[in-house]
Amino acid sequence: MSRYVIAFDPQGPAASRGVHTDRSGEPLVYLDEGEVSTVKLDLTGYLQGAETVSSAAATADGVTATVSTSSPIVTLVLSAATGWTDEGVKITVTTSTGDKWVGTIRVRRRNRFSLEENVRDYV
């Protein structure tokens, strides 16, 4: 079972598990330094009738991403996150009818040590 799951319908992300929402409304995944995580995109609600996922491609900025498909699931493996701002993965999914779905998943690196340094003890 994947830690991160996002279910999509024709209007966009419909439900998610383990995924935050960015200020822009796009899905956001936090990765620790050196972490490798799998994000499953469930397109069951997006596909119509006998339509299937034919292919998927990912373009990553600030993170390493690989993509695989097993209709209606698109699996995205994320690693080597370097950014804290607007980096992410742009995913293009092509269906068996030729329709294209394009989405973005933001990825930010979590820096636990620097977050802990900002907490002061008041005596």
51-67 per-position pLDDT tens digit: 999 999 999 998 999 99
Structure tokens at 111: 């820096």
Residue 1 banded pLDDT, cuts 50, 70, 90: very low
Would you say residue 120 has pLDDT above 70? no
Segment 87-101, tens digit of pLDDT: 789 999 999 999 999
Residues 6+ apart with CB under 8 A from 33: 81, 109, 110, 111
What pairs with residue 11 in β-bridges?
none
For residue 113, the surrounding DSSP H or E stretch is helix 112-117
pLDDT value of position 34: 85
Which segment of 51-60, 71-80, 108-117 scores lowest on mean pLDDT?
108-117
C-alpha–C-alpha distance, residues 13 and 103, integer Å = 9
Domains of the chain from N-terminus onward:
4-109 (2.60.40)
Give the number of residues written for the chain: 123
Kindly report the pTM of this predicted structure. Answer: 0.82
